[in-house]
Structure formats: structure tokens, C-alpha cells
Amino acid sequence: GHSEDSLTRIRNIEMIELGRHRIQPWYFSPYPQQLTVLPCIYICEFCLKCVSSQTCLKRHMSKCLLKHPPGNEIYRSHPLSFFEIDGRKNKAYAQNLCLLAKLFLDHKTLYYDTDPFLFYVLAERDERGFHIVGYFSKEKESADEYNVACILVLPPYQKMGYGRLLIEFSYELSKIERKTGSPEKPLSDLGLLSYRSFWSQTIIEKLISFKEESLQLGEEKQISVNDLSEITSIRKEDVISTLQHLNLYKYYRGQHVIVITDELKDAYRRMLSKCRTRIDPSKLRWTPKD
């Protein structure tokens, strides 16, 4: 979604305190007017309720029973877990999450109506509880076959690979649904960078293992855009744009072909050197609701 309103409005919250983090917001978010005059607002890191002072937060924390996001824990690979939250059943949490996320999302409409969405929250566990790292939202029913509406990693956790992990998770859900998916447009600059990187890595990996397989079998098999899309759940258009971006998609004798070149092997080596946390699909406990 696109909101003209939020584009023209400037940042209205000076600072937030969330768990052990103090974070400076990037953009406008429609928090209650009386909170916008304060030097800092205080957010319960478990239920995401927002209050106006440290004293209020202390009082709240003594009553707040949550030590993790609400909803179902559908993935655990210590210390990381994913929780699935229904925007209709946990409306207050979902609305608070949207308010918090809007502080770092420029171009998204705030969904006051959270009913049509599911929220997948990534949290990191320690002895005090499960601390929110980031999330993505997803329409329960998407006419455009989007598998992510909004995606966010909170600033203290950015550039550490968590964005990639959220994106990977969103495609694992699509695989279980036996659908292809794509993020809702427009993407932010950071969103595009992260998706490009994930798509590239995923496709490079598939092409390399395909190449190795066909070498072992000693036969020249063909792999198509459709195959790649089906294996990865990445929508066809995104597969093509990624192949073009990697310079692996050539027009040859009247048709498009995927060429596996040395460029690909170099990209693969660079990729392997990053060794990031990955989703282990065998730890995902989830079936789509109908």
C-alpha cells in the first residue's frame, strides 16, 4: 500500500526505548498525539504496548505476563524462534507492531485493520525471554500472490543477516503452500537490496547444484526459468530479473537461455564466504490454514 499522507509527514517521535535498546526512529508513525511531545517513549518489548515514562513502563512490566510474542511458535532453532500471530485474534499486538514498524517504513500504509494479515515475528531468546528482532506481515488471502506485505528488522539488528533469514522464511512458507510468491511493491531501497541478494544467492545455489548433478550423470540437461521458480517459490518475473542482473540470461538463436559461466562460479565462491544463519526447514511446524 501507498500512503501520500505518510510521505509528506515528518518524523514525530524523538526516541523509543524497547527492551535494552534506545532507537531513533526514521519516519512518521501515527502514535497518540500526547506521546509525540516527549523526548522518549517506552515500549514493552513483549506486548509492544507504548507508555509515556520509565515509571509507567515499570508498572506495566510488573503486570505484563508475556515473555514472548503472542500466537504460535512455529519454528525454533535456538536461540531464534518464529511466532505466527493472527491480526484478528491478537489485534492489539498487531496494531502496536504496525505502529512500531511504521517508524522505519517510509512508503507503507498503516493497516489499522489488521484482520486480513498474519504476522511472523522473529525473536531471539535469552534467560529473560524472547526479544523481538524483526517481522514480516502477510495477507491471509493475496489477490496478487504476495507472500510478504511489510518486512522489517529493527535497527540494532540490521545488517547481520536477519533480513535474509526473514525473507528465506517467507519463501519456506510459500513452498509448503506450493505457491510462488513475491514481496508487495514498492520495495524500499534496503528492501530491494536484500531481496536482490537473497534471490541471487538462492538461484546461484540451485544452478550450481544442477550443474554438478548433470556432470555426475554425464548428461547435458536443461534447467528453465519455470523449474527455478518451482523449486524456489520465487516468482518467475523475479527469477528472470535476477538472472538478468547476474548476467546469466542470454538471447541465443532466437530464444532465451540460462548460461552457466565463470561469473556464476565466482559469485558462488563469494556467497559461500559469507556463511550465514539459514532456515532449517525440518524445524518448521506449520500448515497453511484454508
Give the single-character DSSP code of 283.
G
Work out whether 150 is an interface residue with ligand ACO (CB under 6 A): yes
Q: Are 247 and 262 in contact (CB under 8 A)?
A: no
Residues in region 27-56 near ligand ACO by CB under 6 A? none
Residue closer to ligand ACO by CB (options 58, 185) is 185
Work out whether 223 is an interface residue with Zn ion (CB under 5 A): no
Work out whether 25 is an interface residue with ligand ACO (CB under 6 A): no
Work out whether 153 is an interface residue with ligand ACO (CB under 6 A): yes
Apex CA 88: angle with CA 83 and CA 94, to 5°? 55
Q: Which of 23, 41, 44, 204 binds Zn ion (CB under 5 A)?
A: 44
217, burial (CB in 10 Å: exposed 0-12, middle 13-18, buried 19+): exposed
If residue 225 lies in a helix (H) or strand (E), which one and from where to where? helix 225-232
Which one of ligand ACO, Zn ion, none interacts with residue 158, CB within 5 to 8 A by kind? ligand ACO
For residues 156 and 270, give the distance between their C-alpha atoms in angstroms, rounded to a whole number: 26
Joined grid coordinates for residue 278: 539459514
Tell me how far the alpha carbon of residue 22 is from its chain's centroid.
22
Which residue, chain included where needed, has cell 512490566?
Answer: 61
Q: CB of 66: closest distance to Zn ion in angstroms?
A: 6
Give the single-character DSSP code of 281.
G
Q: Which of 45, 183, 234, 238 binds ligand ACO (CB under 6 A)?
A: 183
Which one of Zn ion, ligand ACO, none interacts with residue 68, CB within 5 to 8 A by kind? none
3-class state of residue 254 by DSSP: coil
Work out whether 202 is an interface residue with ligand ACO (CB under 6 A): no
Residue 145 Ramachandran class (φ > 0 left, ψ -120 to 50 alpha, else beta):
left
Q: CB of 120: closest distance to ligand ACO in angstroms?
A: 13
180, burial (CB in 10 Å: exposed 0-12, middle 13-18, buried 19+): buried
Give the single-character DSSP code of 11.
P
Work out whether 278 is an interface residue with ligand ACO (CB under 6 A): no
Contacts (Cβ under 8 Å, ≥6 apart) of 284: 74, 75, 172, 176
- Number of residues this chain uses to bind Zn ion (CB under 5 A): 5
Part of the chain binding Zn ion (CB under 5 A), chosen from 59-67, 124-132, 182-190, 219-227 = 59-67
Residue closer to Zn ion by CB (options 126, 220) is 126
Work out whether 148 is an interface residue with ligand ACO (CB under 6 A): yes
Residue closer to ligand ACO by CB (options 221, 278) is 278
Q: CB of 105: closest distance to ligand ACO in angstroms?
A: 5
Q: Which of 7, 92, 160, 257 binds ligand ACO (CB under 6 A)?
A: 160
List of residues contacting ligand ACO (CB under 6 A): 104-105, 148, 150-153, 158-164, 183-184, 187-188, 190-191, 193-194, 197, 274
List of residues contacting Zn ion (CB under 5 A): 44, 46-47, 49, 64
